[in-house]
Amino acid sequence: MPRIVQRTEQALERYLPAADIEPATLHEAMRYATLGGGKRLRALLCHAAGELVGAELDTLDGAASAIEMIHAYSLVHDDLPAMDNDLLRRGLPTVHVRYGEAMAILVGDGLQAQAFAVIGELPATAAQKVALLKELASASSSQGMVGGQAIDLASVGLVLAREQLERMHRLKTGAVLRASIFMGAHAGPSTMSPELHAALDQYQRAVGLAFQVVDDILDVTTDAATLGKTPGKDAQDNKPTYVSLLGLDASRALAEELGERARIALLPLGERAAHLLGLADAVVHRIR
Amino acid sequence: MPRIVQRTEQALERYLPAADIEPATLHEAMRYATLGGGKRLRALLCHAAGELVGAELDTLDGAASAIEMIHAYSLVHDDLPAMDNDLLRRGLPTVHVRYGEAMAILVGDGLQAQAFAVIGELPATAAQKVALLKELASASSSQGMVGGQAIDLASVGLVLAREQLERMHRLKTGAVLRASIFMGAHAGPSTMSPELHAALDQYQRAVGLAFQVVDDILDVTTDAATLGKTPGKDAQDNKPTYVSLLGLDASRALAEELGERARIALLPLGERAAHLLGLADAVVHRIR
């Protein structure tokens, strides 16, 4: 997988406007927000699902870049003073700390537009590009990621039922993780079989939720240096989490159970799904 | 043209998530930001260019809705405290005044995603959708509208040369006006001839610039009730404008000259371009 992470960095380098193109500060800040860091989980999921269907690597690079730009934009806007007011991200000052609040708003806006521009440009048929466009737009929308963020904002100080907490995360982080997987599958030469669609859908539900449960665990068990962002923020901001709802031990058990559910979902796909299986395991056992 | 404005309102009603879909406050705010107001100049340009090439009205409604969503999102983010800090828009409180700053950020983000979702869904061939996607993404990008906004931010308190001022506006407002016209033309059944492309390009340059010159004139000559937003803001914010650069009379003469240039650009297209001609005239002689 380090090879895919490297490919993704190189693709992002190519698909982001160069830092000497005007307006240069904006482009420098867009690159600062996107390049040189992050686990690239979304790119890895996209490539692993694409591998399963025999998609071209160049097409997957474009799709993965678009997804990582959406993810990067969401972090820039989430970190803003009016939102989570975070100062540290991937061990570095957040975009608004480094470039100012107005620029950070524009960086996010520009990254979202660039993600869709990449879909228009990547090497694929028109039908594939439209399928990729639909997945990405839907995942990013007010009924996807942005909707989850709105529910998150409205939930500060509330005690959510487990079902409500799941719904928030299914939108806030789950929608883009889901799109990563389905965009990889859409990049293949033929349309998805119902069996593949069903298996990937079961898989993405388990992995998306596991990701969030582990996030909540790490937020209370890990220091800033390992995490690369400010830990303990959720409790401090009075946000509902799996740990606050279930406790630490039950949250850890839930993460393991979700990893097992992801494994079972992939069984019908056999050996071809080895990379997806490895990613589920990495999500459950990640330490940052 | 009132028929097209009405069609556009109805199309936006359909293409925006209903106000009772969760998260309901976000969707209510997205509709507040987009519906029931505005001149719909971009939708009118899209329809007028589409009429010229025999595009289907339903396709144009979708394309026009996507453009108006991008325009609405840009106003919501431009009005934010960290940007222009505007309190009044279309005679009503701006989105951040009414719904709070965090929600206003999400409203803009959600509208941008929704615009691209609409392109994915509208009735057109995959090739047309990809052409529309490319125009819209490029116009909205850091080398289009968002880039112009970044240059605008960096220009506060500076005296710009006329060429620099033109460049800023060509990006900030010109790029989306240009996309409105070319998206209309892409919605037609066949690819654009080089002659049509050249005529529309000349036309969009003149109209885009005229729009901004008249904006600057209205900012110093019109009251808040007519304008529907706070006048005098540019001078107060120490922003370079055509009026501050050329004076009021020369700005008025420039607007007329640009209107004439738009008329000349359309001559090769004959009677078919009557609506585009009328829109150029409306841009030059608008009073709000």
Residue A153: give its domain's CATH number: 1.10.600.10
Q: How many domains does chain B have?
A: 1
pLDDT interval class at B237 (50, 70, 90): confident
SS (H, E, C) A164-214: HHHHHHHHHHHHHHHHHHHHHHHCCCCCCCHHHHHHHHHHHHHHHHHHHHH
Chain centroid to CA A46: 11
Q: What is the pTM of this model?
A: 0.96
Domain span at B130: 2-285
Residues A171 and A44: beta-carbon distance below 8 Å: no
If you write DSSP's letter for every residue of B192-233 in order, what string do you get? Answer: PPHHHHHHHHHHHHHHHHHHHHHHHHHHHH--HHHHSS-TTH
Q: What is the pLDDT of residue B159?
A: 82
Comparing A232 with B20, the larger pLDDT belongs to B20
Question: To the nearest whole number, what is the mean pLDDT of chain B?
Answer: 94
Statement: residue B40 has pLDDT above 90? yes
- Measured distance CA(A4)–CA(A43) in Å, rounded: 8
Q: What kind and span of H or E run contains B92?
A: strand B92-93
Nearest chain A residue to B128 by CA: give it: A126
Q: Which of A48-52, B239-243, B261-265, B282-286 has the lowest mean pLDDT?
A: B239-243
Residues B224 and B230: beta-carbon distance below 8 Å: yes
Q: How many CB atoms within 10 Å of residue B154? A: 16
pLDDT interval class at B1 (50, 70, 90): low
Tell me the average pLDDT across B84-104. Answer: 95
Q: Are strands A88-89 and A92-93 parallel, antiparallel or unpaired?
A: antiparallel
Nearest to A57 by CA among A9, A7, A2, A92: A7
> Nearest Cβ partner of A26 from B103, B114, B147?
B147
How many beta-carbon pairs below 8 A join chains A and B?
A: 164
Nearest chain A residue to B144 by CA: give it: A110
The sign one gets for the Cα dihedral B279, B281, B287, B288 is: positive
Contacts of B117 in chain A (CB under 8 A): 134, 137-138, 141
Tell me the average pLDDT across A49-60. Answer: 97
- Measured distance CA(B93)–CA(B102) in Å, rounded: 16
| pLDDT tens per residue across span B107-150 | 999 999 999 999 999 999 999 999 999 999 999 999 999 999 99
Q: How many CB atoms within 10 Å of residue B18? A: 11
Q: Which amino acid is at B62?
A: G
Q: What is the pLDDT of residue A227?
A: 67
Q: Dihedral, CA atoms, B173, B175, B179, B182, nearest 10 degrees?
A: 120
- Measured distance CA(A112)–CA(A208) in Å, rounded: 22
pLDDT interval class at B240 (50, 70, 90): confident
Q: How many CB atoms within 10 Å of residue B98? A: 14
User: Phi and psi dihedrals of B261, rounded to 5?
Assistant: -65, -40
Nearest chain A residue to B147 by CA: give it: A23
Interface contact flag, B129 A125, Cβ < 8 Å = no
b/e per residue A123-143 (b: at least 16 CB within 10 A): ebeeebbbbbbbbbbbbbbbb
User: Phi and psi dihedrals of A127, rounded to 5?
Assistant: -65, -40
Residues A116 and A69: beta-carbon distance below 8 Å: no
**Residue bearing tokens 């989850």:** A148
Nearest to A68 by CA among A14, A18, A24: A14
For residue B15, the SS3 value is helix
Nearest to B180 by CA among B123, B130, B133, B135: B135
- Measured distance CA(B155)–CA(B201) in Å, rounded: 27
Mention every residue, 6+ apart, whose C-beta is less than 8 A from residue A209: A166, A169, A170, A174, A258
- Measured distance CA(A19)–CA(A99) in Å, rounded: 14
Interface contact flag, A77 B105, Cβ < 8 Å = yes
- Measured distance CA(B62)–CA(B21) in Å, rounded: 21
Interface of B with A in 115-144 (CB under 8 A): 116-117, 119-121, 125-127, 129-130, 133-134, 136-138, 140-144
Give the angle A25-A30-A34 at the CA atoms, nearest 5°: 145
Q: Which of A62-66, A266-270, B238-242 has the lowest mean pLDDT?
A: B238-242
Chain centroid to CA A221: 22
**Residue bearing tokens 């420039």:** B254
Q: What kind and span of H or E run contains B274?
A: helix B274-285
Interface contact flag, B134 A120, Cβ < 8 Å = yes
Q: Which parts of B101-247 fold into alpha helices (H)?
A: 101-121, 126-140, 145-155, 162-169, 175-186, 194-221, 224-227, 233-236, 242-246
pLDDT interval class at A1 (50, 70, 90): low
Residues A108 and B85: beta-carbon distance below 8 Å: no
Query: Chain A closest CA to B113's CA: distance in Å?
Result: 5
**Biggest alpha carbon–alpha carbon distance for chain B:** 52
pLDDT interval class at B167 (50, 70, 90): very high
Tell me the average pLDDT across B270-285. Answer: 96
Contacts of B102 in chain A (CB under 8 A): 82-83, 153
